[in-house]
Structure 1
Amino acid sequence: MLASQSNWIFTYKDDENARYSDIENLPYSTIVKQLLWQRGLKSEKEIHDFLQPNLENLHDPSLFSTIESAVNRVEKAIELGESILVYGDYDADGVTSTTVMVEALREKGAMCDYYIPNRFTEGYGPNKAAFQEIHRQGFQLIITVDNGIAGTEEIAYANELGMDVIITDHHEVQEELPDALAIIHPKCAEDYPFKELAGVGVAFKFATQLLGYFPKKFLDLVAIGTIADLVPLVGENRVLVSYGLKEMATTERIGLQALKKQCSIDGQVTEEDIGFRIGPRLNAVGRLQDANIAVDLLLATDQEEAEELVQYVQELNKERQKIVANIAEEAIELLEQSGNTEEMDVLVVAKEGWNQGVLGIVASRLVQTYHRPAIVLAIDPELETAKGSARSIEGFDLFKNGMEHKDLFTHFGGHAQAAGMTLPRKNIEPLRKALDQQAKTILTEEDFKPQLKIDATIPLKDIDIAVIKELEQLAPFGMNNPKPNLHIEATPIELRQIGATKNHLKVKLEQAGTVMDGIGFGLGAFFHQLSKESKLEAVVELQINEWNGIRKPQVFLKDLAVSEWQLFDYRGQQSWLKHIDPTCSDQYFVYFKENLYQDVIDAVEARQVIEEKKTVNALYLLDLPNTLEELTFLLQKVESSRIYACFQARESSYFTTLPTREEFKWLYQLILQRQFFDYKVDAPKLASYKGWKLEKIKFMFQVFHELNFVTREGGRIIPKQSPEKKDLTASSLYQSLQEQRKVEETLYLSSYPQLKAWIDQQLNTGAVPEEEMVYGL
């Protein structure tokens, strides 16, 4: 047995009886139709719109309730020659939103500039000091992008200064809306159908309405911000990102060209390129210093300037990675020192000197490590405040639960899975206790295990390049449209650890005659926990592996499980010691014959006596028992999900053929006729005549002697006259050899399925099976 690392949720089980009658005739494979159905696409039109995103399916920006007021105010500002400031945010969504808005305003002829608050000195969103400086510099109109919906007091202050504010945002709406001239926010617009736009998506909508045409040239920026901000990639977001990725491939933006080159992106651009290469680099700027540099890069028109900025961004990203690693290590050390991480349902860790800009990433690391909601705070000892970020697990809504304790915060905002906050230092412990108590009433034991949703079960024979190409039509993947997780059942016929540190797993899987390669990054430890002959279950993604021009399907392993106990067959292999699982903390090594394997016994601290019943992760059987009953007794005392048969049978009795009754009878009649047998002289002659081994002849005479059929006189063996009649089985020597042969045939010479079946029967019944069952006849 091998437990999965994640909690597998078979989403399709809820709907497995559905016939997909409305889409049965569509020209797609069964698995693709099932996945489309799972995603709520249950008509031909819905599927067509999903698989073939079209700009015509985007909603009209005029559906935002106050967007016309916003456009009119911008046009008035342009007409009057007023200065407009775009007030952005320091993450990838914020800097792309800022770029879109600035470019649209400049194209419209506006006098504009942009401002992104410093994460460390000003924090997220509007602040009065910045607004005061903006007013001093003569700006009459502020347009917020990717922020502003929570800035009630700050917007009121801007109004007092005589400035108008247009808010474009997508974050959670709080109890009171700011008194802005216009609020362009999908969740504040009753008539706008799609509520999940990213900040850049909202800015793009405003830019479209402002310019009076569809500015396709901005879609590369829209794709970056939308993917990086982890909003659902469905509906309008799917359309915008699909076209945006195409626009990225041929972008004319000098800054993006330089950034793509730095990221080694050439040709087609994928959502993974954005999520793992471009997005993190743009985010790194605002995490460590002034995010205006990222906007400068995206707006760059000079090749040399763009390359210099990209190099600077690259260095910042490297520095960010080091800082994250250091803080994560310190945070884990602090949590472990507390000694009660298993009792805490919400983790809160704080320290002076931590870089505020990377605390969200650190919180994510803690969630991955402990699978609990995590809040990471940097303490300012002068102001006696703490500021930081939080990340959550699926069952705990950070925004909703955090808002129930808003009195503890100076500032708080975010989403269900991510939040940012500032609070007095004295409130850290009350916050931890309050959220921990809430979590204890909401979360169950299952919630603390990573959730892995499975879309479908698929046989290996159905996995081919054509199906994988069909599945690729579901891209771009992301929130609410994840890469399909498929469930397979197969038997590993090859297992290898790969990578410099052997931390990856390479497998060859077989199911009903179909063989397929699989790769599992970070799953190298499973090498010692998987038996080649045990049927396993796996959650996989499908891939096409190309090597030397040959393309073939393979599975990308995300998690593994084995539902029954496993037998590891190292019989007769001297190298079994190399296969001991170094990650297993509870292993039990047992031997039956004193000193037979003393070197091994000492090396692994093996034991011979079983004192009491116990459960262990791994049970190693080092040698053959004297009887089958001995092993049955052990298997009833020690329960284990993994049993390793390491039998070496160095003194095998199997090939010392057990004489038949007729052979015993013939030899006894011979010595009766001759009345003596000179062993030294006659045994070699008899061995040559009958083709028997000397050991066999010696054994037969030992049995005769034990049964008192013969006696010795000097060097001769003399038959006794009228001995007591006894069956051969009355001889302990005969019984012992019989039992040894039975042990060896059952445990050492049997096939893998036969040995597993025998052990399985002992585990289930404790009864020694009939001889016919043992031999599999």
Structure 2
Amino acid sequence: MLQSQSNWIFTYKEEDEQVDETGLSLSPFITRLLNSRGMLTKEQIEAFLHPTLDQLHDANLFHQIDIAAERVEKAIERGESILVYGDYDADGVTSTTLMVEALREKGAMCDYYIPNRFTEGYGPNESAFREAHRQGFQLIITVDNGIAGVNEVKIANELGIDVIITDHHEVQEELPEALAIIHPKCSPKYPFDELAGVGVAFKFASYLLGYFPKQFLDLVVIGTVADLVPLQDENRVLVKYGLESISNTNRIGLQALKKQCSLTEEITEEDIGFRIGPRLNAVGRLQDANIAVDLLLSEDPGEAEELAEYVQELNTERQKIVTQIAEEAIRSIEQLGPIEQHKVLVVAKEGWNQGVLGIVTSRLVQEYHRPAIVLTIDPKTNSAKGSARSIAQFDLFKHCMTNKSLFTHFGGHAQAAGMTLPLENIDKLRTALNEIAEEILTEDDFKPQLFIDTTIDIKAINMELLTQMNQLAPFGMNNPKPIFHVKGLPAEIRQIGATKNHLKILLEDDGVAVDGIGFGIGELYQRLSQDTPLEAVVELQINEWNGIRKPQLFIKDIAVKEWQLFDFRGVKNWIDKVNIENNAIALSFQGNQIEAIQTVTVTEFEQLASPIEALYLIDLPNNMDQLSKVLKGKEIYRMYTCYQNDESVFFQTLPSREEFKWLYQFILKRKYFDYKVDAPKLAVYKDWKLEKIKWMFQVFHDLGFLTRENGQIVPTKNPEKKDLTESSLYQKMQQQRIIEEQLFYSTYHQLKEWLNDQIESATTNEEELIYGF
């Protein structure tokens, strides 16, 4: 048995049979996936599988977009300076780049400004707007921010600067008094309100230019994927075409950045999410994000190469900083005491880089599967500032707001937040949140969740299925990669990777096998028996090697529902081949000890409560009943048979009754037997081994048939009549042969079947008593 590391949540009912009634010849698995994503009719499915630019909504539907465009036209006519005010993340820098290029194409005099994360923070700020006025800007266009800048817009108005806001963030109770606000959620007629900031900027650019500017799609796809907006409706179309655009982009800066990412072929949403996006984000996390915009706007190959190299260096530095802070945070957590006592993790330290704390916090949540807050301490202000991330079962925003008096500033949502608080309130916050978590969270809540789309047979996994499934891409928020539940027998299990931290499995069912790989779960190698069926939660992918393409399982989690047997019988150095768990138990029948494992006697083992995660049988029992008794009714997850059999009797021929009879008659007739002199002669005469002769005499002595007089073996006078089987030596030999036959020389499956019968015997007997059978 092996417990899953995650909670498996099946989002379907197995009895729900999926029938493709659309005439599109889809696999029932694909039909189920589409239905679960809200695609029910033929028209909906076709639109989803084959998105077109015609599915995009008309930019005219944005409220006040006409007012904004008219103001830009006037600025161009008057020769006014326009400032594009952006943000420091990937969505913000792509939005900024896109708007600057669109304005310049229109002939506008414009520049851009991105606030510094550390000195100015997110969104509009008064000093920046006053500086814009000082430099002579008459119009500010915000991208990916501005909807919360009520006071800043008011100041701009007082200074005589018009402000156009393009944003997608949550609308606050009070809206800024801007000249125009272009925002999906402020536009009742606009059909889709989940555009990224760059998506809103793209819509405004399309309206300004009067045509569909495909040249910006490479920017749109970066911001949309990196900002984790739902990949539905327009976003799906923009990303679909954006991936084609960025794969073939002529943008000098992106070409240089792709080179740094080692991306030469078709770009996927994963390439953006894990390579391009993090590099652009790294700039704003460590310093001024204007460098990222400079790179994207660059038209000089030499400059672009230089900027891309610098962005790469910043990303490398960011990774090192994240690793360092994460290690320090983990050490701080370990110093807090047993992790079970800390439902919500709160750590703080002076000197931690504020720009990467969100990433560090996410790592802690992934490591410990519980809400986490990571703060950097500023001794000058006697305050701490940082980020928080949560698990699905703990609404971070709600529970922090019940303690809002502890914060100087706080904002966020259920799963993520940012905050500032006085140093003296850190311990109070930790205590308060832990008390809430103690009340509402269960042990299962501290396991990650895997939402399973469907169960699939191994034999149903083929290239045709994967080809159809890939039509569901691009994958992302609200259109995740499908997750499947599979069952099978691991025909092969291997550890791979330089540090053996990955797992390779050949999973077989009904004569069909498919390769599977699990990254970062190599430690499970020694907890999986090759002869026990397992269940896994997987993604399906195509593995291509030497021109051969075939399906592969990307393993996310593994569970084994029945107990497992690991066979190390007769292996001298077995302890070097197993990974001893902290709660492992070694059972000895002969008083042996294993230094590396807690070793118990039979009596001590019988007192242990189930379940027992790992049981090592380190020697053979004295009889079969002894082993049967200790196993009876025990719940054991993994059993390791590690015993030796150095003095085997199994292959020794047990003397027959005729041989015993002949030897006894011989002694009776001869009256005596001098073992030292006569045994070698007898061995030659009868072709018996000396050990056999010696053992037969021991049996006779045990039965009282023979005795010793004057150093010789002589018949006992008037012995009691007994059968050979009454001899304890004879019984022990027979029992030893049975033990060896069943426990040592049996096949793996014979041994497991016998052990399983002993474990289950208590349950069977109890059921018989209950039901009276």
TM-score, with length taken from structure 1: 0.92
Number of the residue aligned with 1:731? 727
**Partners of 2:430 and 2:151 in 1: CA distance:** 27
In the alignment, the residues of structure 2 paired with residue 24 and residue 747 of structure 1 have an alpha-carbon distance, to the nearest angstrom, of: 59
Q: Residue 477 of structure 1: CA displacement?
A: 1.4
**Aligned residues: CA RMSD:** 2.7
Matching of residues 584-623 of structure 1 within 5 Å: 584-594=581-591, 601=594, 606-608=599-601, 610-611=603-604, 613-615=607-609, 616-623=612-619
Corresponding position of 1:4: 4
**CA shift in 2, pair 1:691/1:605, >3 Å:** farther
Counterpart-to-counterpart distance in 2, 1:117 and 1:704: 100
1:313-328 matched pairs, under 5 angstroms: 313-328=311-326
Deviates more, 1:182-191 or 1:218-227: 182-191
Conservation of the 8 A alpha-carbon contact between 1:200 and 1:225: yes
1:145 aligns with 2:139: no
Q: Residues 480-530 of structure 1: CA distance to partner in whole angstroms, max 9, x if unpaired? A: 222222111122233222222221122232222223322211111111211
1:551 maps to 2:549? yes
In the alignment, structure 1 residue 279 sits paired with structure 2 residue 277:
yes
Compared CA separation, residues 716 and 381, structure 1 to 2 (3 A): closer
C-alpha separation between the residues in 2 aligned to 1:341 and 1:723?
72
Indicate the SS of the match to 1:390. Answer: strand
Cα distance change on mapping 1:230 and 1:441 into 2, 3 Å: farther
Q: Which residue of structure 2 aligns with residue 167 of structure 1?
A: 165
Question: How far has the Cα of 1:278 moved from its partner?
Answer: 0.7
1:84 paired to 2:82: yes
Secondary structure of residue in 2 paired with 1:614? coil
Three-state SS of the structure 1 residue aligned to 2:240 is helix
Distance 1:86 1:506 in 2: 51
Question: What SS does structure 1 have at the residue aligned with 2:550?
Answer: strand
Q: In the alignment, what sits opposite 1:373?
A: 371
- Whether the 8 Å CA contact 1:614–1:639 is kept in 2: the answer is no
The answer as to whether partners of 1:761 and 1:767 remain within 8 angstroms in 2 is no
1:251 aligns with 2:245: no
| Deviates further, 537-546 or 94-103 | 537-546
Aligned partner of 1:758 among 749, 754, 761: 754
Task: After TM superposition, list the pairs within 5 Å mapping 1:178-193 onto structure 2.
Answer: 178-193=176-191
Given residue 297 of structure 2, which amino acid in structure 1 is its aligned partner?
L
- Aligned letter for 1:151? G
**1:696, distance to aligned residue in structure 2 (A):** 3.3
Write the mapping of 1:334-733 to structure 2, written as runs, cut at 5 A: 334-339=332-337, 341-399=339-397, 401-402=399-400, 409-425=407-423, 427-429=425-427, 431-433=429-431, 435-440=433-438, 442-582=440-580, 584-594=581-591, 601=594, 606-608=599-601, 610-611=603-604, 613-615=607-609, 616-635=612-631, 640-665=636-661, 667-668=663-664, 692-712=688-708, 718-719=714-715, 723-733=719-729
Cα pair distance change 1:521/1:8, threshold 3 Å: same
Alignment-mate amino acid for residue 615 of structure 2: L
| Greater alpha carbon shift after TM alignment, 391-400 vs 62-71 | 391-400
Tell me if structure 1 keeps the 8 A contact 2:602–2:630: no
AA paired with 1:614? L
Q: Give the whole-Å Cα distance in 1 for the aligned partners of 2:541 and 2:37.
A: 21
Whether the 8 Å CA contact 1:373–1:392 is kept in 2: the answer is yes
Which secondary structure does the structure 2 equivalent of 1:657 belong to?
coil
Checking the alignment, whether the CA contact within 8 Å between 2:18 and 2:29 is kept in structure 1 is no
Q: Kindly indicate whether the alpha-carbon contact (under 8 Å) linking 1:354 and 1:378 is maintained by their aligned counterparts in 2.
A: yes
Deviation at 1:427, TM superposition (A): 4.9
Report the residue type matching 1:643 in the other structure.
M
* Cα distance per residue 1:385-406 (max 9 Å; x no partner): 4332222222334445555666
* Per-residue Cα deviation, 1:619-666 (whole angstroms, up to 9, x for no partner): 211111111232234435976422110121110111123334455445
CA deviations 1:519-554 (Å, max 9, x no partner) are: 211111111211222211111222333333333332
Q: Which amino acid in structure 2 is aligned with residue 622 of structure 1? A: I
Residues 20 and 37 in structure 1, CA contact (< 8 A), matched pair in contact too: no
How many residues are matched? 762
- Amino-acid identity (%): 67
Task: Point out the more displaced range, 446-455 or 430-439.
Answer: 430-439
SS at 1:144's partner residue? strand
Aligned-partner Cα distance in 2 for 1:766–1:690: 50
Code of the residue aligned with 2:346 in structure 1: it is: V
CA drift of 1:720 comes to 5.1
Q: Is the 2:540–2:552 Cα contact (8 Å) retained in structure 1?
A: yes
Q: CA deviation at 1:32?
A: 2.1
Greater shift, 758-767 or 86-95, is seen at: 758-767
Residue of structure 1 in register with 2:768 after alignment: none
Q: Distance in 1 between matches of 2:381 and 2:504?
A: 53
Residue in 2 aligned with 1:747?
743
What is residue 20 of structure 1 aligned with on the other side?
Answer: 18
Deviations 1:558-592 (A, max 9, x none): 1111122221100111231122215x212222333
Which residue of the partner structure matches residue 771 of structure 2?
Answer: none
Q: Which amino acid aligns with 2:608?
A: K
Moved more, 154-163 or 476-485: 154-163
Q: Which moved more, 1:586-595 or 1:617-626?
A: 586-595
Provide the residue aligned with 2:205 in structure 1: 207
Match of 1:157 among 150, 155, 173: 155
* Shift, 1:410, TM fit: 4.9
The one-letter code matched in structure 2 to 1:295 is V
Distance 1:188 1:39, change over 3 A: same
Kindly provide the amino acid, as one letter, of the partner of residue 486 in structure 2: I
Looking at structure 2, the residues matched to 602 and 435 of structure 1 have their Cα atoms a distance apart, in angstroms, of 42
2:310 aligns with 312
Q: Which range moves more in the overlay, 305-314 or 391-400?
A: 391-400
Bigger shift: residues 179-188 or 411-420: 411-420
Structure 2 equivalent of residue 772 of structure 1: none
**1:554–1:691: structure 2 CA closer, same or farther, 3 Å change rule?**
farther
- Which secondary structure state, in structure 2, belongs to the residue aligned with residue 342 of structure 1? helix
* Shift in alpha-carbon separation, 1:121–1:70, aligned structure 2, 3 A: same
Per the TM alignment, residue 726 of structure 1 is displaced from its structure 2 partner at its CA by: 1.8
1:407 and 1:151 mapped to 2: Cα distance? 23
Please say which of residues 755-764 and 317-326 is displaced more in the overlay: 755-764
Specify the alignment match of 2:290 in structure 1: 292
User: What per-residue deviation string (whole Å, max 9, x for no partner) do you get for residues 601-635 of structure 1?
Assistant: 45657454643622543221111111123223443
2:103 to 95, 102, 105: 105
Output one character per residue of 1:373-429: Cα deviation in whole Å (capped at 9) or x when no partner: 222222333233433222222233444555566665554444443333344545545
Structure 1: gaps spanning 5 or more residues = 770-777
CA-to-aligned-CA distance 1:189-231 (integer Å, 9 cap, x gap): 2222222211111111111122111111111101101111111
Give the 3 Å change call, closer, same or farther, for CA 91–647 of structure 1 in structure 2: same
Secondary structure of the corresponding residue to residue 73 of structure 2: helix
| Partner AA of 2:548 in structure 1 | I
For residues 369 and 91 of structure 2, the distance between their equivalents in structure 1, rounded to whole angstroms, comes to 26
Q: Please list the CA deviations of residues 448-499 of structure 1 after superposition, one character each: whole Å capped at 9, or x if unmatched.
A: 2111111222222222233222222222111122222211112223322222
Matched-pair contact (CA < 8 Å) for 1:8–1:452: yes
Q: Is the 8 A contact 1:636 1:763 kept in 2?
A: yes
